[in-house]
Amino acid sequence: MPIEQIETESLLSAILQGLPNTIEKIRDMRDSFLTDAVLLGEIPSPTYGEEERIRAVMDRFRENGLMNPMVDEFGNASAHLAGTEGQSSIVVMAHADSVFSPEVRHEIQVGSDTMTGPGIADNALGLAAMISIPRILSELNIKLRDNLILVANVKSLGRANLEGANGFLETMSLPAKAGICIEGSTLGRLSYSGLGTLRGEITLQVPADYDWKRFGAAGAISHLTGLINHIREIPIPKEPKTQLVFGGLKCGSSYNTSPRQGSLRFEITSEGDELIGQVENQLNEICEQFSAETGTHVQMEVVAKRMNCGIPFTHPLVKTTRSIMQQAGTTPKVDPSTGDLNALILGGLPAVTLGLTTVENLRETNETVHLDPLYGGMAQVITLIQAIDQGICEL
């Protein structure tokens, strides 16, 4: 075995030995980050409306004595924990936006073993965990050689197309060597690749001069149903793995009036970028044909598009992450990401996304996180930061 490999394994082994202690320390100091999860989670933070939550994150960055706390031109909050050498940096990101609108009551209930409320898993808990990293490192007396860059990124979900994360990485001034994305859900998640994705919205409108006497005349609901049937005829191959999901349908508001307009939201994910392009073309053709045949106005808008990206399963970062998970008693579940990880990897950084704990009712208003597995989930993140810092996650 080459000497470098022996050294790496011995360094990793030493770090892994500390994992049980890290879990216990985190359990002992849980109150501060559970508090942050509740206080942040109770601030509504829809995509494009994250300002108030970001202000609260900035308060915490300042209170924790981090360097250069700032909100950039995209609205992301970031701060640095200076390393002893500072030659390079590790980026830790957690998205600050939530799928819930401000009209939803953002109230988190705290039980002995669970916390429940809209957005607690996705991603108030991830955000709170990111904020708590400097305190945990300090409690564990871990001094990093690298700088740690903490980012609460905005405009991550839905139509935002990772605008916040992309903007941050494009303008980041410090050289970075790896990235970690933290999500509340789900413990065991290991993402090291980003799926090619296309998100779009098709709007259908029945024009004012529509001929209601023509053969097949119908309101927007019937037309949208017909359109969906056409779309479902697009052949979706097993290889490369591809999926077409209808995520939202809006149409009508009464019992007895045919609506004149409606919209359909969809997402195509695929391991083949070319295939995404082909499906996009087919969708455009279907919309054009349907519009012409029915006398309706049908338009497709692409709101987000991402290329496939990733690092290999055998990359030292992935390998080390798997070892850490196994040591923590967690079975890694490989789960390609469609989130911020894509921005990091396409930005040239080896990166992974980790989930913190087990979750029920994800993205429902009664989203629930379990507290007991959380401490192990947090310990994984801390241990991975240590491993990256010690240089054992590099090719």
Partner 1 sequence: MSTKEQSWLERNTFHHSVFWDLIKLVEEKERKGLKISLCIPTLNEEKTIGKEVLILRSELMERYPLVDEFAVIDSGSEDKTLEVAQNYGADVYLASDILPEVGNKRGKGENLWKAIHQLKGDIICYVDADISNIHPRFVYGLVAPLIHRDEVTYVKAFYDRPLNYSSGIRPSGGGRVTEILIRPLFSLFYPELSNVIQPLSGEYAARREVLEQIPFPIGYGVETSHLLDLYEKFGLETFAQTDLDRRVHRNQTTNALGKMSFGILQTFFNRLHAQGKLDRMPDLDTFYRRFEVEDGNYRQLIQEVVEEERPPMIDIEGYRNRQNPS
Which residues contact partner 1 (rule: CB under 8 A)? Answer: 31-32, 34-35, 38-39, 42, 63, 103, 105, 107-112
Measure the CA dihedral 70/73/77/81, to 10°.
-50
For partner 1, give the closer residue by CB, 31 or 239. Answer: 31
For partner 1, give the closer residue by CB, 108 or 127. Answer: 108
For partner 1, give the closer residue by CB, 103 or 233. Answer: 103
Please tell me whether residue 141 adopts helix, strand or coil conformation: coil
Q: How far is the CB of 29 from partner 1 (least distance, A)?
A: 9
For partner 1, give the closer residue by CB, 42 or 122. Answer: 42
For partner 1, give the closer residue by CB, 53 or 306. Answer: 53
Longest CA–CA separation in the chain, Å: 83
CB atoms < 10 A from the CB of 293, how many?
Answer: 12
Pairing between strand 189-191 and 176-185?
A: unpaired
Q: How far apart are CA 195 and CA 23, in angstroms?
A: 32
Q: How far is the CB of 248 from partner 1 (least distance, A)?
A: 22
Q: How far apart are CA 89 and CA 25, in angstroms?
A: 25
The tokens of 71 are what? Answer: 């909100």
CB atoms < 10 A from the CB of 292, how many?
Answer: 10
Q: How far is the CB of 18 from partner 1 (least distance, A)?
A: 24
Q: Which residues pair with 179 in a beta bridge?
A: 91, 351
For partner 1, give the closer residue by CB, 63 or 293. Answer: 63
Give the residue among 147, 144, 106 at the shortest CA–CA distance from 124: 106
Give the residue among 309, 92, 119 at the shortest CA–CA distance from 179: 92
The tokens of 272 are what? Answer: 């083949």
For partner 1, give the closer residue by CB, 108 or 198. Answer: 108
Q: How far apart are CA 57 and CA 73, in angstroms?
A: 16
Give the residue among 71, 14, 133 at the shortest CA–CA distance from 392: 14
For partner 1, give the closer residue by CB, 103 or 209. Answer: 103
For partner 1, give the closer residue by CB, 110 or 228. Answer: 110
199 CB-near residues (< 8 Å, 6+ apart):
158, 159, 161, 265, 266, 267, 268, 302, 303, 304, 305
Q: How far apart are CA 242 and CA 277, in angstroms?
A: 12
Residue with tokens 């009508």: 252
Q: How far is the CB of 366 from partner 1 (least distance, A)?
A: 13
| CA angle (349, 359, 367) in 5-degree steps | 110
Q: How far is the CB of 33 from partner 1 (least distance, A)?
A: 9
Q: How far is the CB of 152 from partner 1 (least distance, A)?
A: 19
Residue type, position 356, single letter: L
Answer left, alpha or beta for residue 161, where phi above 0 means left and psi between -120 and 50 means alpha.
Answer: left
Q: How far is the CB of 84 from partner 1 (least distance, A)?
A: 26
Give the residue among 285, 284, 349 at the shortest CA–CA distance from 317: 349
For partner 1, give the closer residue by CB, 139 or 273. Answer: 139
Q: How far is the CB of 59 from partner 1 (least distance, A)?
A: 10
Q: How far is the CB of 374 from partner 1 (least distance, A)?
A: 14
**Do residues 15 and 383 touch, judged by C-beta distance below 8 A?**
yes
Q: How far is the CB of 39 from partner 1 (least distance, A)?
A: 7
